Amino acid sequence: MKRGREAFVGIDTAKVRNAVTVAEGGRQGEMRYLGEFDANPDAVAKLVRKLADRYETLHFCYEAGPTGYGLYRQIVSMGHECTVVAPSMIPRKPGERVKTNRRDSQTLARLHRAGELSAVWVPDETHEAVRDLVRTRATAVEDYRRKRQHVTAFLLRHGRIFEGQTTWKGRHLRWLDTQNFIHPAQRLAYQEMLNAMRAGAERIDRLDAMLSEIISQWTMAPVVAAFQAVRGIGFTNAATLVAEAGDIRRFDHPRQLMAFLGLVPSERSTGETRRQGGITKRP
């Protein structure tokens, strides 16, 4: 069987099964939907070897998502090119109202062949592990804020208002401990809220200690230290920036880094009218 020269493989990933489409090279190249295959490593390896027998060069792609980068690393380890695509940058027709696994894989294969897909930066396993820890801390901080809000809302419903200026520190925390309620159910509810809040604070402290220890042994530790030289950026913010941005040398200009970090102003302009808003806060 004669081998084709080049093929572009679009994979619509899922937890259990992946939908796969192959688009042969060239504008008139045939595009075939191969079906759905098990998402486990053995099935992926079998599929990749089968396609490698048919084509000299393979270009794989799939959308970044909850399935992570395991598929990317497996395909690359087998000697083939793989692109993890930024979902928000995939061109979509305004009139499309049907979305299926088959269509998604076909769209990926076709656009990859046309060179219209934007890739995301894929971290190595160590960098991904540090990023996971940083994101876990961010989740813990958000959970702690919600628990504090529960306490504040409960006290406000019962007319308990703290008269000091600084909250969630020494005097305010002591004031929280002095609050008492007549009904046992309310006392229990309030105490559980306080316990949950304190547990959240302890969780953040543990994560901060682990993050400090791990960052000190990380190859990117000098970059984290360099970011802290910028006024207003402490250790936690620096670690977050480096974990999310990765290798900043991949940005050709500082504006691209600022856009990735969501630090550029939003804009909505048309004709002679130009309107700029606050920072986007998103890549």
Residue 181 to residues 155, 160, 185, 197, Cα–Cα distance (Å): 10, 11, 9, 19
Instruction: For 97-118, write each residue's pLDDT tens digit.
Output: 888 999 999 999 999 999 999 9
| Residue ranges per structural domain of the chain | 4-114, 125-250
Position 283 confidence tier, pLDDT thresholds 50, 70, 90:
low
The span from the first CA to the last CA of the chain, in angstroms, equals 46
d(CA 148, CA 231) in angstroms, rounded, equals: 29
Please tell me whether residue 27 adopts helix, strand or coil conformation. coil
- Summarize pLDDT for 6-44 with one digit per residue, the tens: 999 999 999 999 999 999 988 788 999 999 999 999 999
Which one of 3.40.50.11540, 3.30.70.20, 3.30.420.10, 3.40.50.300 gives the CATH number of domain 4-114?
3.30.420.10
Check residue 270 and give its pLDDT.
78
Helix 235-245 with 184-216: angle, nearest 10 deg: 70
Instruction: Please check whether residue 71 is in contact with residue 85, taking contact to mean a CB–CB distance below 8 angstroms.
Output: no
Q: Give, for 147, the enclosing helix (H) or strand (E).
A: helix 125-157
Distance CA 65, CA 122 (A): 12
Q: With the C-alpha atoms ordered 170, 172, 173, 175, is the resulting torsion angle positive or negative?
A: positive
How far is 225 from 19, CA to CA, in rounded Å? 44
Instruction: For the chain, give the mean pLDDT.
Output: 92
On whether the pTM is more than 0.85, the answer is: no
Pairing of strands 276-279, 265-267: antiparallel
